[in-house]
Amino acid sequence: MTTVWPWLSIIGLGAFHGINPAMGWLFAVALGLHRQSRRIVWLSLAPIAVGHAASAALTLAVVVTFGAVLEPHHFRLVAALLILSVAAYGAFCGHRHRVRVGMRAGMAGLGLWSFLMATSHGAGLMLVPAVLSLCVVDRAGDLAVAGSLPVALAAVAVHGAAMLAVVAAMAIAVFEWLGLAALRSAWINFDHLWTVALSATGIVLLVQ
């Protein structure tokens, strides 16, 4: 069961990222409505998922690489402080500095936007505690890059699949049935939830 919980948390974070409109489904809906095309909504999902996964993969690759050369306790402290810093920035700035993409964006532009948005929000950082718990190779808490990178990439794939499934469900539900008007009465401030989730991730690393 100790190896099941990290994977469940990775899947759960994928669902959480997917339901957050800042991660892409709201843009896919807006793009589809602007061009009056259901096909555009479906096509938009691919670059959104690829951009998000690329950001998470890059983050985890850097984390695993540094984790293999730093003393485990110091590494966890640095990683936790980095995550908490991103959370603090989000709390005080409210994610105001967003990447702006217009309705004329192509698939490549949408993928780049997704990558930058996920990176600026620290989406990949949320996966760090779960991935590190899967990548520890001895009782001292050391990491081995050769063995850890495949695990990290598998985590990105599982996380990305969960995120894509939820993004697709949200985008199609809003585009086909709910409409953007319904969101005005049922809107949730995901900026606050995101900041809380990042803070919890940093605290988990501190006490792990």
Measure the CA–CA gap between 178 and 92, rounded to whole angstroms: 32
The per-residue pLDDT for 15 is 93
Asked whether the beta carbons of 155 and 127 are under 8 A apart, the reply is yes
The per-residue pLDDT for 139 is 44
Segment-wise mean pLDDT, segments of 10 residues, the chain, 208 residues: 79 90 81 81 91 92 75 72 76 57 64 84 85 64 62 92 93 78 56 71 74
Question: Domains of the chain: which residue ranges?
Answer: 4-207
> Among candidates 139, 122, 93, which has minimal Cα distance to 202?
122
The per-residue pLDDT for 1 is 45
Measure the CA–CA gap between 86 and 57, rounded to whole angstroms: 18
The per-residue pLDDT for 65 is 79
> Among candidates 195, 82, 64, which has minimal Cα distance to 133?
64
Measure the CA–CA gap between 76 and 85, rounded to whole angstroms: 14
Return the CA Rg of the chain.
18
The per-residue pLDDT for 57 is 93
Measure the CA–CA gap between 85 and 202, rounded to whole angstroms: 9
The per-residue pLDDT for 73 is 67
The CA-based angle 198-206-21, given to 5 degrees, is 10
Residue with tokens 């690829």: 50
The per-residue pLDDT for 156 is 94
One DSSP character per residue, 63-108 reads: HHHHHHHS-HHHHHHHHHHHHHHHHHHHHHHTT-SPPP--TT--HH
DSSP classification of residue 138: S
